[in-house]
Amino acid sequence: MSLKIGFIGLGIMGKPMSKNLLKAGYSLVVSDLNQVAVGELVLAGATSAKSPKEVAEQVDVVITMLPNSPHVKAVILGPNGVIEGVKKDTIVIDMSSIAPLASREIAVELAKKGIAMLDAPVSGGEPKAIDGTLSVMVGGDIGVFDRCYNVLKAMAGSVVHTGDIGAGNVTKLANQVIVALNIAAMSEALSLATKAGVNPELVFQAIRGGLAGSTVMEAKAPMIMDRNFKPGFRIDLHIKDLANALDTSHGVGASLPLTAAVMEMMQALKTDGMGECDHSALARYYEKLAKV
């Protein structure tokens, strides 16, 4: 018998991810504060519920895809939350990018009711969410992971178990550090080329096939050149991830000096009113300094 799935958080990522679950044949119950997004999923074949509790009452697996730790805590553990509606054997999968410590705290509360949880954040952004080719990094019990593999694979190109609960989000933080530093490096290099009088478009064409080429460069250099900073992935959300990475590193005794520097650049752009822009707008930080 096919599992019934609940999906809470139908934003840039959650909407296409939940549509891919429908396409894979799962029946879906959805909920979001944004009723327009809910209406779109109902048109696509889902049913809606009024609260996370009502979602949980009707399904075998509850998936959350929300901005950050406080949102996930409120939706799962708060009043009318998932925890009030779960039944024996319900599995909770949080696919948001949140602090690993928060994942562990939520899992502990759910475990008191005998409910298993996976943290399963994703990488790939909106295009891969639409294509169903996300990379999913998963923390939690391996038996629970095995039971949920097909559900996750319906949204993903790769699904990798990286350890116990929280390990999914540690992996995601590592991913976000690499992406942020890559965008900063690319912005710095293109700023150098532009100020030195070489067309950045031609620089991109010349180097994209060499060692400096990367997935980040392919996705973000054209946006920088086109001055198209429509998100994609918002600076606000990347600040959230870098703050979680720095908090985590302080807790475990790692040192992230480059992450701290890029975090300050993103923070300056947010102060300048660019928090809603795509993170490729990091290039604007260099352009402002260099008066390009």
Give the residue numbers annotated as catalytic, written as ranges.
172
CA distance 53 to 77: 10
Q: Closest distance between ligand NAD and the C-beta of residue 73, in Å?
A: 10
Mask 22-51, x = binds ligand NAD (CB under 6 A)?
---------xxxx--x--------------
CA distance 149 to 157: 12
Nearer to ligand NAD, 189 or 283 (CB): 283
Q: Kindly indicate which of the ranges 40-48, 109-117, 231-239, 261-269 contains the residues binding ligand NAD, using the contact rule CB under 6 A.
A: 231-239
What residues contact residue 169 under an 8 Å CB cut-off, 6+ apart?
97, 98, 99, 100, 103, 119, 121, 139, 244
* φ, ψ for residue 249, nearest 5 deg: -65, -40
User: Is 149 buried (19+), middle (13-18) or exposed (0-12) by CB count in 10 A?
Assistant: middle
Mask 82-111, x = binds ligand NAD (CB under 6 A)?
--------------xx--------------
Find tokens 């509850």 and name the residue: 62
Do β-strands 122-123 and 156-163 pair in parallel, antiparallel, or remain unpaired?
A: unpaired
Q: Is residue 18 involved in binding ligand NAD (CB under 6 A)?
A: no
Find tokens 């319906």 and name the residue: 154
Q: Kindly indicate which of the ranges 3-11, 84-92, 184-192, 218-226 contains the residues binding ligand NAD, using the contact rule CB under 6 A.
A: 3-11
Q: Closest distance between ligand NAD and the C-beta of residue 195, in Å?
A: 30
Q: Is residue 275 involved in binding ligand NAD (CB under 6 A)?
A: no
Q: Is residue 180 involved in binding ligand NAD (CB under 6 A)?
A: no
Q: Closest distance between ligand NAD and the C-beta of residue 289, in Å?
A: 26
What residues contact residue 80 under an 8 Å CB cut-off, 6+ apart?
51, 52, 53, 54
Judged by the rule CB under 6 A, the positions of this chain that interact with ligand NAD are 8-14, 31-34, 37, 65-67, 71, 74-75, 96-97, 122-123, 125-126, 232-233, 237
